[in-house]
Structures are given as structure tokens and as C-alpha cells.
Amino acid sequence: NAGVTQTPKFQVLKTGQSMTLQCAQDMNHNSMYWYRQDPGMGLRLIYYSASEGTTDKGEVPNGYNVSRLNKREFSLRLESAAPSQTSVYFCASSPLLAGMREQYFGPGTRLTVT
């Protein structure tokens, strides 16, 4: 039981390049999330997927797209990377059972855009 896994762990991009961050969970959770963490800003929600087949914007969606490929996998795509997207990206999942809203996080992807 690996929990939430993310690939890659590190990535360096040049401005304008594109890439996809991969996330998978093996806990049979319905909901999945993408966050970015920047110094002094906490965790900010980029996009989330409440269930397979649905996606919704979070607090900072501009410059990103997502795909909920199946129940296990939720990917985040940067079409044209910008230096402002330099950050640490976390994927999370949640069962969203009644009375429990805990989210479980992956180890993160550290992205640098030059």
C-alpha cells in the first residue's frame, strides 16, 4: 500500500516548455487534489476532482490543466511554463467519508522554471 505517489520528484524546465506531473493513489479514494506550496503562502489549491470524471478549479488554476484519468490517477499539466510556476507541487486524495475530510498527501514534486 503505497498511498499517494507522485512523479517526478524534481524537474527543471525552461520558460515556455510543457510538462505533466503524475499522481496516483491506491487507497480507493474518490477525491483528488493538486496544491502548490510557496514560502509564506501555505498550500494553495490549484484544481481538484471530487470524483472520477469531474474536475473543478481551485484558488490558483491559471496556467494549469488537469485530467482525472481514472479513479486512481490525477495529472497536472503545465502547457507553457513560467518562472512564477516555480514551486513545490503536492497531490492529495481523500475518501470524503461522512464526518471525515482528511486528505492524504504525496511526497511532492519540486519544479524550477528558469
Partner 1 sequence: DQQVKQNSPSLSVQEGRISILNCDYTNSMFDYFLWYKKYPAEGPTFLISISSIKDKNEDGRFTVFLNKSAKHLSLHIVPSQPGDSAVYFCAASLQGAQKLVFGQGTRLTINP
Shortest gap between Cβ of 50 and partner 1 (angstroms)? Answer: 5
Of residues 61-80, those binding partner 1 (CB under 8 A): none
The one segment of 12-20, 64-72, 73-81, 97-105 that binds partner 1 by CB under 8 A: 97-105
Give me the 8-47 binding string for partner 1, x by CB under 8 A, dash otherwise: -----------------------x-x-x----xxxxxx--
Dihedral sign computed on CA atoms, order 10, 15, 20, 25: positive
* 50 scored as a contact of partner 1 (CB under 8 A): yes
Rg of the chain on CA atoms, in Å? 13
Q: Which is nearer to partner 1, 89 or 113 (CB)?
A: 89
* 53 scored as a contact of partner 1 (CB under 8 A): no
Length of the chain: 114
- Rounded CA-CA distance 47/57 in Å is 5
Q: Which is nearer to partner 1, 58 or 63 (CB)?
A: 58
Q: Which is nearer to partner 1, 38 or 79 (CB)?
A: 38
Q: Give residue 104's identity as a one-letter amino acid code.
A: Y
